[in-house]
Amino acid sequence: MQNVQDYIQKNKQRFLDELIQLLRIPSVSADSAFSQDVIDTSEAVKTALENAGCDTVEICETDGYPIVYGEKTIDPNLPTVLVYGHYDVQPPDPVELWNSPPFEPVIKETETHPEGAIFARGACDDKGQMYMHVKALEFMVKTGQLPCNVKFMIEGEEEVGSNNLGVFVANNREKLANDIILISDTGMIANDVPSITTGLRGLSYVEVEVTGPNRDLHSGLYGGAVANPINALTKMIASLHDENNHITIPGFYDKVEELSQEERAEMAKAPFSLKAYQKALDIASVDGEKGYSTNERNSIRPTLDVNGIWGGYTGEGAKTVIASKAYAKISMRLVPHQDWQEITQLFKTHFESIAPKGVTVKVTPHHGGQGYVTPIDTIAYQAASKAYETTFGKKPIPQRSGGSIPIVALFEKELNSKTILMGFGLDSDAIHSPNEHFGVWNYLKGIETIPYFYHYFTEMKR
C-alpha cells in the first residue's frame, strides 16, 4: 500500500469538508418530520459513492427509506468486500443539552481528541464511520491500488430497526454476494488501544401503555380510590428486576450463553479503569447485575432498560390529576442464543400478567434483532488485525460490544457470510447523546487503515 498517508494529508481538508456537508442534513429516521432530509441524505451518499469511483450506484426503494447500493468490480475472480453502513441518525433531543446545534457541525479540541473532533449528530454513528469507507475507496481507486471487488450497501433505517433491510437482502442475494462484510459502526477501546469488536448484543424494543380510568381524574376526588396508571406502571417496571438486578421475566435467561472462567479471565485483561469510568459519567458508583464486572454487564450479559417514560402532567407548576394513561419505552439487550422474538413474547406475556387490578396493559413490540459473535481465527479477523497493527503499531484486542447491529445476524443467515467490525470511534464520543462527536484523528486513521484490510484480506484469500 503506497503513499496512503501522503494522500490523506493532501486531501485532509476536503475529507473533513465533505463529511461536514453530509452531517448538515438532519436525517432523523425516527421522526417523520425529517423524512425529506433522510431522502436528501440518500441522494448525497449516492453522489459521494459515484465520485469515489463506483461503476454503478443505485437508490433502491423500500417500503421505508431507500437503500443506497454501489459497486466496483475489477475482476470476478477476485474476492469481494461488502461494506455496510447507515446514513440515518438518532434524534438529537434533548437539544437544549447540546453546546452547539446538532446539525451545524463544528470542530473543537477535547482532552481525548487533542487534534480536534467533529461535533454533530451522526458524526461518529454512523455518517463519519461510513464515510471513512467512501474515502478509502477513493484513495484505492484514484491510486490504482484497489486489490479486489467492492460493494456498498448504505441504509437509512438502522436507528429505527432496519425494518426493510431484511426483505431487500433476501431479494438480492445474488447482487449482494460477497466474501466478507465490512462494517464500521462500533468503537475501539482507546486511540492507543485498538480493538476489534467480536460480539454484539441482540435487541428487543417494546412500548407499553397502561390504561386506568377513561379520563384524567381529579386526584383529590378520586385519589386512593382508583388505580393510578402511573403508580401501576412504576410497580410493574420495578418488579422486572430483583434485588440482585436479575431480570425476573420467566424464561429470560434460559438460553443465555454462560462464558467459561477462562473466557472471562481473558476479557478481564482489557485495560479498564472503574475510577475513570465513574469520573467520566459523574457517578459515585456503578450498578448492575450481581456477580459480574462492569465490562461483563455491558457485553456478555442481557439487560433491561427503560428508555423513556411519560404520563400525567409534565408541564410547569402543579396539576393535581390522576392520568388516564401512562407509557414507557423499554428495551432489552440480548446475548448470543437469546432469540429476540421469543424474548419479546416472553416480555409481553409476563408484563400483561402482572397488571394490577383496575388497569389494562398493552405491549407493542417496536423492533429487535439477534446477537452475534465472530471467531478470531478467520482470515477476515487476521487481515483486520494486521491492518490495525500496520497503522496503529500495535495488535488490536478482540472485544465484545454491548451495542446491537441486528442486521449482522441477518447477513449471516441470508448471505451466509461473516462480518468484520472495524470500529474507530470511542465510547466517550457520546453517540445517541447530546454533543456526539468523532475525532479527526480517528476519522483519518480509519481512512488509512481500511485499505490495508482490503490488501491483507485479498492476499490471504489467495
Q: Is 227 among the residues that bind its own copies (CB under 8 A)?
A: yes
The reply to whether 64 sits near its own copies by the rule CB under 8 A is no
Beta bridge partners of 327: 209, 310
- Using CB under 8 A as the binding rule, whether residue 366 contacts its own copies is answered as yes
Q: How far is the CB of 457 from its own copies (least distance, A)?
A: 27
Q: CA-to-CA distance for 233 and 326, rounded, in angstroms?
A: 7
Q: How far is the CB of 302 from its own copies (least distance, A)?
A: 8
- Per CB under 8 A, the list member of 96, 174, 314, 462 interacting with its own copies is 314
How many Cβ atoms from other residues are within 10 Å of residue 436's Cβ?
Answer: 26
In the block, cell 433491510 appears at 165
Scanning 113-121, 313-321, 411-419, 450-458 for contacts with its own copies by CB under 8 A, the matching segment is 313-321
> With binding defined as CB under 8 A, does residue 53 bind its own copies?
no
> Residue 226 interacts with its own copies (CB under 8 A)?
yes
Q: Which is nearer to its own copies, 238 or 269 (CB)?
A: 238
Candidates 143, 345, 356, 382; binder of its own copies (CB under 8 A) is: 356
What is the distance between the alpha carbons of residues 278 and 260, in angstroms, rounded to a whole number?
28
Rounded CA separation 78/95 (Å): 47
Which residue in 320, 341, 349, 416 binds its own copies (CB under 8 A)? Answer: 320
- 107-146 positions binding its own copies, by CB under 8 A: none
Tally the residues of the chain. Answer: 462
Query: Which of the residues 184 through 213 are near its own copies (CB under 8 A)?
Result: 187, 201, 203, 205, 207, 212-213
Whole-number minimum distance, CB 277 to its own copies, in Å? 8
Least spacing, CB of residue 347 vs its own copies, in Å: 15
From candidates 114, 223, 251, 271, binder to its own copies by CB under 8 A: 223
The region of 76-84, 169-177, 217-225, 372-380 touching its own copies under the rule CB under 8 A is: 217-225
Helix (H, G, I), strand (E, B) or coil at 161: coil
Nearer to its own copies, 231 or 390 (CB): 231
Please tell me the count of residues contacting its own copies according to CB under 8 A: 102
Classify residue 253 as exposed, middle or buried by CB count within 10 Å of its CB (0-12, 13-18, 19+): middle
Per the omega criterion (within 30 degrees of 0), is the bond before 192 cis? no
* 309 binds its own copies, rule: CB under 8 A: yes
- Pick the closest to residue 371 from 329, 345, 343 (CA basis): 343
Which of 64-72, 109-117, 312-320, 344-352 is the region at the interface with its own copies (rule: CB under 8 A)? 312-320
C-alpha–C-alpha distance, residues 460 and 380, integer Å: 9
Cis peptide before 213 (omega within 30 of 0): no
Using the rule CB under 8 A, is 306 a contact of its own copies? yes
Q: What are the strands of the beta sheet with 360-369, ordered from one edge?
A: 325-334, 202-211, 360-369
CA distance 334 to 328: 19
Looking up cell 410547569, which residue turns up? 316
C-alpha to C-alpha distance for 250 and 342, rounded to whole angstroms? 12
Amino acid making up residue 153: M
> Is 423 among the residues that bind its own copies (CB under 8 A)?
no
d(CA 140, CA 450): 10
Q: Quick check: 283 binds its own copies (CB under 8 A)?
A: yes
287 part of the interface to its own copies, by CB under 8 A = yes
Per DSSP, the three-state class of 25 is coil
Q: Is 38 in the site for its own copies (CB under 8 A)?
A: no
Q: Taking CB under 8 A as the rule, does residue 313 contact its own copies?
A: yes
Spell out the SS3 assignment of 128-143: HHHHHHHHHHHHHHHC
Please list, in sequence order, all residues whose beta carbon lies within 8 angstroms of the beta carbon of residue 94, skipping any fewer than 6 positions away: 434
Q: Does 31 bind its own copies (CB under 8 A)?
A: yes
Site string for its own copies, 395-414 (x = CB under 8 A): ------xxxx----------
Answer yes or no whether residue 30 interacts with its own copies by CB under 8 A: yes
Contacting residues for 318 by C-beta, under 8 A, at least 6 apart: none
Q: Which residues in 430-449 contact its own copies (CB under 8 A)?
A: 430-435
Minimum CB separation of residue 55 from its own copies in Å reads 35
The residues, ordered by sequence, that sit 6+ positions from 416 with a Cβ below 8 Å of its Cβ are none
Contact at 8 Å (CB) between 26 and 103? yes
List the one residue from 118, 160, 169, 420 that touches its own copies (CB under 8 A).
160
Least Å distance between CB 40 and its own copies?
19
Q: Which x/- pattern, by CB under 8 A, does the window 322-341 give for its own copies?
A: xx--xxxx-x-x--------
CA angle 83, 430, 311 (to 5 degrees): 110
Segment near its own copies (CB under 8 A); pick from 2-10, 128-136, 153-161, 172-180: 153-161
Query: Considering only residues 6, 10, 55, 97, which one is a binding residue for its own copies as defined by CB under 8 A?
Result: 97
Interface stretch with its own copies, choices 8-16, 68-76, 224-232, 381-389 (CB under 8 A): 224-232
